Structure 1
Amino acid sequence: MRRRRFFAWGLGAAACLAGGAAGCGTQRVGAGAAGLRTRFAIIPEGRRWARAGLLFSGAAREAGYQLGPGTKITLSGLPALAAAELNNDHTLLTATTPLSRLSGEVEVVVVPGDSGFKDFQDFGAHLLADPARTPLAGRPQGGPDHLLFGLIAKGLGADTRQVDYTGYPNHQETATALSSGKAAAATGLLSDWRSGIHREQVRALAVSSARRVPELDVPTLLESGVRVDYAEWTAAFGPEGMTEDTREAAIGMCDDVTGSSAWDAACRSEGWISIPLSGDDFVVWLASEVERTRAVMRDLGLVDTTKATTCWGSCGNGH
């Protein structure tokens, strides 16, 4: 592997951001006695989720919720989950009360505008034949971009241990590596690459979502023969040990928000996909996402393959 820039986001308590959605609280007006007794504080798990926190809180207000202190509802997502797995820390599944999946950001595989790879099939054939000589780039090692390339390599049948990936601290450095020839292909959030695609500085080979992105004539990975449906998702989590009444009230709030026209408009404006899933269904999905993340990290050689990875909190070794 090339130089190692590991994911740094953790799962510690998020600080409230002054003047924004962080630290704001919510109370349902007219939601029945249980709703009126339950008050929530919506807190992003760091800057990565500050915008989501702001828009979620705005949609909550429009849905009839008022601000006020109370039980913390943290907005976090895949980057934090990946960081916890990489550092053998407690995961979002075991250190919180999962409430609801909210939204996702589509990733895209890109190559330089003058690349010899005409389409994803050309790129995939090269990666399958010689992964060690197909230099790839994205954000920090062990993060969502790296994991996506691992899933692509596995889906193609390539030797994932040979994947040549360099992680960079931000999109700008990734773009520079791609344009300078240090990388043959890169991946990252479509929102970051969209302007380069429109200016034809880079060409998009495939998007990670199950459906094509409107106004972008680019196939999905699924259409390209790779069974991967992937998004950098954001979700809502309560504190560990929530009472059932509080959990149900919080899930109800999340359902109200994700079902609202305000949230739908916010997602369209930000270029997010709305992917609501709440309660027990979300817990089941999250467990599968944890296992998928662990599996691809093992495939890439990022974590110790000798450790048990399916106890999910019962074995005391941090899983």
Structure 2
Amino acid sequence: MRRRRFFALALGVMVAGGCGGANGSGAAPAGRLTIVAPAARGRGWDQAARALATILTEDGLVGAAEVSNRPGGVDTATLTAFGAAGGPFTRGGTVLLTGVPMLAGAETADVASVLAATTPLARLAGDWAVLVVAPNSLLRTFEDFAAVLRRNPAELTVGGGVDGGSDHVLYGMIGKCLGVDVRLLDYAGYPTDAEAVEALGEGRVAALLGSAGSLLPEIAVGRLLPLAVSSGERIDGIDAPTLMEREVRVKYADWCGVFGPRGMSPQDRDEVAALCGRIDASPRWQAVCAANGWNRACLSGDDFRQWLVTETRRARGVLGELGLLSSFDTSCWGGCVRRH
């Protein structure tokens, strides 16, 4: 199973936008670039980090690139060490490749936010989610699923990625939009898609939220029945409506973004914006995205930072509603479903 998480569209609408400097000129950056992936090899967005390192070198965008894994995910030490890493991007610098897991993890762990500890540089890709059940499930449609949640939110156990991650957040958003008390939602997190699918097959969870790209092969052979997708339009190969079609106003994708050390110079930030456009235009990168079912969603510079401010606020809102924050203002963060 492929597990996602690269440039993350977390919590809500995936904003369309271009990358600053996509047509910029100038020599390709020289020296070695280290891409920090806060996950074990093969987990999270590590696959995307390694694909990115290969493309950067094979397309001649940097002299050399390597991936440094930090399996511990988000903690104070990781963010502090990275934030102080320093080093100009174009002369052997370091960037962090992460998204929803670290953004949400920083909030739940009550450490410095990703925004405060890093320099947001660019978003490159997102990964839509799909809600699936076992083929023999009594839940045949999203309406069946929604009816059970409205009747008793704790009746269904829904599986997905790790607690507090993108799948968990999406489940909270769906519950909120259906008008249920999200504190009562029963969620089971698993380290990998394979383990989550196994739990669904054994009946330990009633439904599963996961990467549309990763679960597509299981859906194609009939081992999983899709009920809805989180994209704005229907996904080829998945016979299921969007959440928006079912009047649940959520368009959501896990996302992956590039972050630099705190205090990067404007010149270095501008060079990354230009590099973002070159990566997005690379046929190799486009092929990787297509193969994995990722959506190219390039957004850089101030546009990315402003988008990230909003997404961080939304993430905190959902995590607070789920009861995963030590302190939270319980004021409503907005309705999103038409009442009948």
Same fold by TM-score, threshold 0.5 exceeded?
A: yes
- Pairwise CA RMSD of aligned residues? 2.3
Q: Which residue of 1 aligns with 2:266?
A: 244
1:49: how far off? Answer: 2.7
Q: Which residue of 1 aligns with 2:310?
A: 288
Q: In the aligned structure 2, how far is the partner of 1:110 from the partner of 1:36? A: 44
Residue type of the alignment partner of 1:209:
S
- 1:41 maps to which of 18, 27, 34: 34
- 1:53 maps to which of 46, 49, 53: 49
Q: How does 1:69-88 map to 2 (within 5 A)?
A: 70-88=92-110
CA deviations 1:44-89 (Å, max 9, x no partner) are: 3333333212222333345442314612122111111111111112
- Preserved contact between residue 101 and residue 165 of structure 2 (Cα < 8 Å): yes
1:256: how far off? Answer: 1.4
1:101: how far off? Answer: 0.4
- Preserved contact between residue 159 and residue 209 of structure 2 (Cα < 8 Å): yes
SS in 2 for 1:93: helix
Q: In the aligned structure 1, how far is the partner of 2:195 from the partner of 2:33? A: 39
Residue type of the alignment partner of 2:50:
L
Task: Please state if 1:203 is matched with 2:225.
Answer: yes
**Greater shift after overlay, 259-268 or 228-237?**
259-268
Aligned length: 279
**Greater shift after overlay, 87-96 or 294-303?**
87-96
Task: Please state if 1:125 is matched with 2:147.
Answer: yes
Q: In the aligned structure 2, how far is the partner of 1:36 from the partner of 1:56? A: 15
Q: Which residue of 1 aligns with 2:8?
A: none
Unaligned runs of 5+ in 1: 1-8, 10-29, 309-319
Specify which structure has the bigger relative contact order, considering alpha-carbon pairs within 8 angstroms and separated by 6 or more residues: 2
Q: In the aligned structure 2, how far is the partner of 1:39 from the partner of 1:195? A: 37
- Preserved contact between residue 128 and residue 159 of structure 1 (Cα < 8 Å): no
Unaligned runs of 5+ in 2: 6-23, 65-90, 331-340
Residue type of the alignment partner of 2:36:
I
Taking structure 1 as the reference length, the TM-score comes to: 0.80
- 1:274 maps to which of 277, 288, 296: 296
- Preserved contact between residue 102 and residue 258 of structure 1 (Cα < 8 Å): yes
Residue type of the alignment partner of 1:131:
P
Task: Please state if 1:32 is matched with 2:26.
Answer: yes
- Preserved contact between residue 101 and residue 164 of structure 2 (Cα < 8 Å): no
Q: Which residue of 2 aligns with 1:298?
A: 320
Q: Which residue of 2 aligns with 1:134?
A: 156
Percent identical among aligned pairs is 39
1:180: how far off? Answer: 2.4
- Preserved contact between residue 97 and residue 242 of structure 1 (Cα < 8 Å): yes
1:39: how far off? Answer: 6.7
Residue type of the alignment partner of 2:325:
V
SS in 2 for 1:173: helix
Q: In the aligned structure 2, how far is the partner of 1:145 from the partner of 1:37? A: 38
Distance 1:217 1:56, change over 3 A: same
